[in-house]
Chains A and B, each alone.
Chain A
């Protein structure tokens, strides 16, 4: 009698353990998948920012051809570009400070490019140049892509965070070390509209 009772207890414990492991495995897989989505979205954000950086030499050279003496503006763009290429963020260990830094560096490019486009307003020949108009369209398209990819990144982060922080997944998240991630904040750095200075 006694033996069969202990057996029952052991079987019950084993069943609960199997259930918990099964639960943990599915939750773990879900979290890994969502983390992968976040890093995919982040890679896309970086690709789009890189695309903008790659546009800069062409854009600067075209404007130079018409407005050679706007030296300070060109230098500002080149400097911002050089600075931004040094700041990279690894999606695996993305701290809020790192993201802030990245955003600030990209924000500098945004405002420097804004000034570059603004001075083109003073040169009617440049404005009418089809090559310049096409470059400008590429820049606009890239800014749009950056926005889209940032939104998608934020959405992916949100889905991940909701999973990691809701019960009962948060227990497994704690065990396996899945931390809350940070998305872009609307008002910081890069999302600011470029200021036009005269």
Chain B
């Protein structure tokens, strides 16, 4: 009897907790939605509930990166379980106002939203894309490519096929030029400029540090011309270094100690590694949006 009671109790608890879990699907708002593009300039898909598989997210990111480079489009794809109010249109417009998606001059922003538990979807076009993707075309893409997949709950392919179709229309529009590119290039230039500046400063310091003050004439033109390895003791290397002053030709020999290194190039490798590493991690730079505006164009609905 007691055992039975305990099972009933457990059953009730599990029932309750599953109820709670079901109601727990986050209601995303434009404020709470993590905007991945701001962390990584090459990512455009907001998938906070993990509805899309990583492979599809990658493919869609690739499509959008291509559109961004070739046509200057800034596109954000949002796939969530639920949005606040269950209305993808309002959510998308608020998102566009918050981030200013699309270039400021050309307004070529694009937002695609799918809310799986609200069973709602929306394509929103920036005012500069309304000619390339009229509402009727957005609807056609939704009817032909997306809705059939959504009805099968195949979220991956609903988004992938939809984005492929959208990309075809955008690619086919020659009036969208490469020059339409997002204005946030400024941010990119600033980063590149900073990197160059940093590297130059480093080299300058390295060159400067070569020179020491000459004990003879007092000018900072005293530098090492020759060094001979002598021996290693207690993990310390001993060198004989010949210094010469380029001003007064004063020459001096010194015995110098340096920490022992197994590989002569180790220092250089570490230095090169850090510089290159910080430069090559380009993808890790956060992105930004151009500040484009949306006029309410696009198409959406419920499936």
Contact = CB atoms under 8 A, between A and B. Distances in A.
Contacts of B93: 148
Nearest to A147: B296
A141 B93 CA distance: 13
A169 interface: no
Contacts of A149: 295
A138 B139 CA distance: 9
A88 B89 CA distance: 30
A142 B297 CA distance: 7
Interface stretch (B37-45, B73-81, B130-138): B130-138
A59 to B, nearest CB: 12
A130 B140 contact: yes
Given A138-B134, A144-B89, A133 B296 contact: no
B136 A134 contact: yes
Interface string A145-167: 11111000000000000000000
Contacts of A148: 93, 294-296
B139 A133 contact: yes
Contacts of A138: 134-136, 139
B298 A134 contact: no
Interface string B76-111: 000000000000010001000000000000000000
Interface of B: 89, 93, 134-136, 138-140, 143, 294-301
B136 A135 contact: yes
Contacts of A134: 135-136, 139-140
22 contacts: A130-B143, A133-B139, A133-B143, A134-B139, A135-B136, A137-B135, A137-B136, A137-B301, A138-B134, A138-B136, A140-B299, A141-B135, A141-B138, A141-B296, A141-B297, A141-B299, A144-B89, A144-B297, A146-B296, A148-B93, A148-B295, A149-B295
Contact of A145 (B136, B140, B297): B297
B295 A140 contact: no
Size bin of chain A's contact surface: 10 to 19
Given A133-B143, A137-B136, A146-B296, 13 more contacts: A133-B139, A134-B139, A135-B136, A138-B134, A138-B139, A141-B135, A141-B138, A141-B296, A141-B298, A144-B297, A145-B297, A148-B294, A149-B295
A127 B30 CA distance: 33
Contacts, number: 44
A133 B140 CA distance: 8
Contacts of A135: 136
Contacts of B301: 137
B36 to A, nearest CB: 27
A145 B140 CA distance: 19
A137 B295 contact: no
B136 A144 contact: no
Interface in A21-80: none
Contacts of B138: 137, 141
| Most chain A CB inside 10 Å of its own CB: which residue of B143, B296, B298, B301 | B296
Contacts of A137: 135-136, 138-139, 299, 301
B57 to A, nearest CB: 27
Given A134-B139, A134-B140, A137-B139, A145 B134 contact: no
Contacts of A141: 135, 138, 296-299
| Most chain A CB inside 10 Å of its own CB: which residue of B136, B138, B294, B298 | B136
Contacts of A147: 296
A152 B296 CA distance: 12
A133 B147 CA distance: 13
A136 B297 CA distance: 13
Contact of A140 (B134, B135, B140, B143): B135
3 A-B pairs closest in CB distance: A144-B296, A137-B139, A141-B135
A145 B299 contact: no
A29 B93 CA distance: 32
Interface string A110-145: 000000000000000000001001111110111011
B133 to A, nearest CB: 11
Nearest to A144: B296
A43 to B, nearest CB: 13
